[in-house]
C-alpha cells in the first residue's frame, strides 16, 4: 500500500474523498427508506456529501483545469550548491534534499507507466516546509516525507538537469543518456496538416535491449542489482 501511494500521491486526497462519498451514499440510502422524516436541509447535506467528492476526484484524476493552471501544479526541481529543493505544488510544500544525504539515484523507465522517474535513496530525511497559504485539504493532510526513498516523476520542471548537476556537486562521473525504450526502430511516420497546424504520428518498435532501471549515482559504487537484492525490489 505504501509503495502504491508513493507512486500515486494523489491517492492521499482521493481516499478521504471516496470515504466521504461512500458515507453520502449510505445516508442517501437511509434517507430514501425514511424520506418523510428527512428535512430539506438534510437532503442538501446528503447531496453535498455525494457531489463535492465526485467533483474533486474528477478534478484530481481527469483534470478540468486550464492549461496554465495545470502548469502551476507541476512539481519543480531547484538546485543550489547545498542540495535540491523539490517543490510539490499540488501539496503546497517543498522538501530540501541535501547533496551529502544522497546515497543512490536510480533512473526508472518502466514501459508499464506513462512517465519515467528518479528514485533517490537518502540517509537523512529531507526537511519539508509547508506554504503559509495552503489549500484546506493540504491543511488537514499535510505532506510528510516518511521514507528514505524519494520518487520524482519526469513531468517535473528541470527533471533532465539532475545528471549534470550530480557531476557538478557530487563530483561523480555520470555516464547516462536520456532515452525512451519504447522508441527503438521507427516503423511509420505520417504528417497531417490542418490550416497552419502540422501533426506527426509515429509508430515505433520498442527497443529489443531494455533495462527498466539505470544507475545514475551511488555513493558506494553499488549497482542496480545490489540495491534490488538489498531491498527485495527497486
* Whole-number pLDDT of residue 69: 44
When pLDDT is averaged across residues 11-25 and rounded to a whole number, the result is 79
Query: Minimal CA–CA distance to 118: which of 100, 102, 101, 98?
Result: 102
The single-letter DSSP state of residue 10 is T
Secondary structure element (H or E) that encloses residue 203, with its range:
strand 197-205
Specify the pTM.
0.66
When pLDDT is averaged across residues 124-153 and rounded to a whole number, the result is 89
* Whole-number pLDDT of residue 105: 97
Q: Name the CA dihedral angle for 158, 98, 218, 231, rounded to a multiple of 10 degrees.
A: -100
When pLDDT is averaged across residues 44-48 and rounded to a whole number, the result is 84
* Whole-number pLDDT of residue 7: 55
Tell me the percentage of the chain whose pLDDT exceeds 90: 39
Q: Which residue has the cell 424520506?
A: 35
When pLDDT is averaged across residues 86-105 and rounded to a whole number, the result is 95
Write out the E strands in 55-163: 76-80, 83-88, 93-98, 102-108, 117-122, 127-130, 149-153
- DSSP letter for each residue of 177-191: ----TT-SEEEEEEE
Secondary structure element (H or E) that encloses residue 201, with its range:
strand 197-205
Amino acid at each position: 500500500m505504501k509503495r502504491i501511494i508513493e507512486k500515486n500521491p494523489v491517492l492521499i486526497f482521493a481516499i478521504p474523498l471516496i470515504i466521504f462519498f461512500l458515507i453520502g451514499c449510505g445516508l442517501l440510502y437511509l434517507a430514501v427508506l425514511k424520506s418523510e422524516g428527512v428535512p430539506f436541509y438534510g437532503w442538501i447535506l446528503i447531496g453535498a456529501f455525494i457531489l463535492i467528492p465526485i467533483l474533486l476526484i474528477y478534478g484530481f484524476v481527469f483534470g478540468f483545469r486550464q492549461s496554465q493552471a495545470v502548469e502551476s501544479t507541476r512539481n519543480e526541481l531547484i538546485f543550489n550548491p547545498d542540495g535540491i529543493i523539490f517543490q510539490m505544488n499540488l501539496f503546497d510544500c517543498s522538501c530540501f534534499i541535501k547533496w551529502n544525504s544522497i546515497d543512490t539515484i536510480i533512473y526508472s523507465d518502466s514501459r508499464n507507466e506513462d512517465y519515467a522517474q528518479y528514485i533517490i535513496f537518502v540517509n537523512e530525511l529531507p526537511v519539508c516546509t509547508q506554504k503559509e497559504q495552503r489549500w484546506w485539504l493540504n491543511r488537514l493532510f499535510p505532506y510528510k516525507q516518511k521514507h528514505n526513498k524519494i520518487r520524482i516523476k519526469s513531468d517535473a520542471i528541470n527533471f533532465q538537469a539532475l545528471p549534470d548537476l550530480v557531476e557538478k556537486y557530487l563530483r561523480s562521473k555520470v555516464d547516462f543518456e536520456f532515452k525512451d525504450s519504447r522508441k527503438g526502430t521507427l516503423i511509420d511516420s505520417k504528417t497531417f496538416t490542418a490550416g497552419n497546424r502540422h501533426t506527426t504520428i509515429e509508430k515505433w518498435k520498442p527497443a529489443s535491449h531494455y533495462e527498466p532501471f539505470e544507475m545514475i549515482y551511488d555513493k558506494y559504487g553499488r549497482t542496480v542489482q545490489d540495491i534490488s537484492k538489498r531491498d527485495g525490489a527497486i
